[in-house]
Amino acid sequence: MKRIAFFDTKAYDKEWFDACNQERFEIEYYESKLTAKTVGLAAGADAVCAFVNDDLSAGVLGRLKEMKVSVIAMRCAGFSNIDFKALGEGMRVVRVPAYSPYAVAEFAMGMLLSVNRKLHKAYNRTRDFNYNINGLTGMDLYGKTVGVIGTGKIGQVFISICRGFGMKVLAYDPYPNGKLDCDYVELNRLFRESDVISLHCPLTEQTRHLVNAEAIAEMKSHTILINTSRGGLIESRALLNALQEKRIGGAGLDVYEEEAEWFFEDHSTEGIVDDILSLLTVLPNVLVTSHQAFLTEEALRNIALITLQNLEDYFAGKPLVNEVLPAMK
Ligand code: NAD
């Protein structure tokens, strides 16, 4: 039986992978992330199963190759944490390109509703028997303009949700899809005209810091920015400055540039040493969540089923429909 070293395991991963595995593979679950320090745990494994914040840089990949691990099964869509230059021959990468675009798009709308109507503030107030509603004013989404950056699987679902709210949709994508109910425009116009901006493109060399100080300077002072894609799309310091100086309306952030250090773990006892994340977290018009947009039962089931099928295909020598190739980076 082939052995999988499964890194960064959470209770919900084990639950769904055990349910879907049906004893096809021997899965060793490790709570630790894959790093240069923990890579030794993969000794004797045929495959590694990794997640968004695992370290797949050159050093770690080199060690995995020495240990004869020949396939990395990413249990996520994104792969910006893999050093493809270091991958070379003899090691292949598979992923789960789509598991539930609804999970992420619905969460993005949830963040927007929360930031706009201050639900996160209201929740804290009423829990304290404070029924004052001063300062909780939002805007109607009906008739407002939303700018959607990236109109792939998740962006498309988000667009149809926004249309359901009666919003006008502007979109930017280097590969426009003529069938969508939106107007494709240049990025500058999207930044200038949108009341809400939601990011749904991958993190690449071209998109890193797509939302930087210059982009934010174009935005309206009430614009709400939603990021459920990857933290590196936003220059966090520039966003924090703009929020503090009230040059932008608010932000919903499910991802953060330096999240690998903090997200998915409980740091409530010792706190965190990241001034930007700390300040973003406590600003009243910001909602930070810990990369949970994917977290629905349907998504978890699909992630487990597709990851295990990817591995079964690899070991059976079948074509890998979900292979990640360096050219995709
Ligand atoms: P997708 O591949 O279906 O769509 C991505 C779209 O972005 C494509 O249409 C592509 O043409 C477009 N794009 C590429 N470069 C661009 C650029 N420079 N500017 C604008 N658009 C560009 O991907 P998807 O399934 O819709 O996922 C989108 C992103 O969501 C993923 O890359 C991933 O980072 C993120 N994601 C986050 C979570 C979460 O839990 N927060 C879960 C799943 C996916």
pLDDT at 328 over 80: no
pLDDT at 111 over 70: yes
H/E element, 310: helix 297-315
Same domain? For 109 and 93 the reply is: no
Residue 160, CB-side half-sphere exposure with 13 Å CA sphere: 11
Percentage with pLDDT > 70 across the chain: 99
> How far, in Å, from the CA of 77 to the mean position of ligand 1?
9
Same domain? For 224 and 202 the reply is: yes
Token digits for 302? Answer: 């699909």
Asked whether the beta carbons of 28 and 45 are under 8 A apart, the reply is yes
Mutate to test the pocket of ligand 1, among 153, 188, 191, 201 (most ligand atoms within 8 A of CB): 201
Q: How far is CA 228 from CA 108, 199, 200, in A?
A: 6, 7, 7
State the Cα–Cα distance between residues 57 and 87, nearest whole angstrom. 9
State the Cα–Cα distance between residues 56 and 72, nearest whole angstrom. 9
Same domain? For 93 and 220 the reply is: no
Q: How confident is the model at residue 325 (pLDDT cuts 50, 70, 90)?
A: confident
Q: Across the strands, what pairs with 5?
A: 28, 48
Q: What is the pLDDT of residues 2-39, one digit of tens each?
A: 999 999 999 999 999 999 999 899 999 999 999 999 99
Same domain? For 175 and 284 the reply is: yes
What are the strands, taking DSSP E only, across 56-201? 71-74, 92-94, 145-149, 168-172, 183-184, 196-199
Domain with 229 in it: what CATH number?
Answer: 3.40.50.720
Lowest mean pLDDT, pick from 85-99, 139-153, 250-264? 85-99
Same domain? For 129 and 253 the reply is: yes
Q: Across the strands, what pairs with 92?
A: 71
Same domain? For 73 and 163 the reply is: no
Considering its fold, how many domains does the chain have in total?
Answer: 2
Same domain? For 155 and 54 the reply is: no
pLDDT at 49 over 90: yes
> How far, in Å, from the CA of 284 to the mean position of ligand 1?
28
Same domain? For 83 and 117 the reply is: no
Same domain? For 20 and 117 the reply is: no
Same domain? For 107 and 232 the reply is: yes
C-beta pairs of 29-35 under 8 Å, 24+ apart in sequence: 30/5, 30/6, 32/7, 32/8, 33/7, 33/8, 33/260, 34/7, 34/8, 34/60, 35/60
State the Cα–Cα distance between residues 176 and 73, nearest whole angstrom. 30
Residues with CB under 6 A from ligand 1: 77-78, 98, 101, 104, 149-155, 172-175, 200-202, 206-207, 228-230, 254-255, 291, 293-294
Same domain? For 256 and 135 the reply is: yes
> How far, in Å, from the CA of 200 to the mean position of ligand 1?
5
Q: How confident is the model at residue 329 (pLDDT cuts 50, 70, 90)?
A: low
Asked whether the beta carbons of 121 and 284 are under 8 A apart, the reply is yes
Query: Quick one: 241 exposed, middle or buried, by C-beta within 10 A (0-12, 13-18, 19+)?
Result: middle
Query: Residue 15: which domain range?
Result: 3-99+297-328
pLDDT at 113: 98
Provide the annotated active-site residues. 230, 259, 291
For tokens 């910001």, name the residue.
286
Same domain? For 133 and 262 the reply is: yes
Is this model's pTM higher than 0.75 or not?
yes
pLDDT at 141 over 90: yes
Nearest protein Cα to ligand 1, atom 32: 202
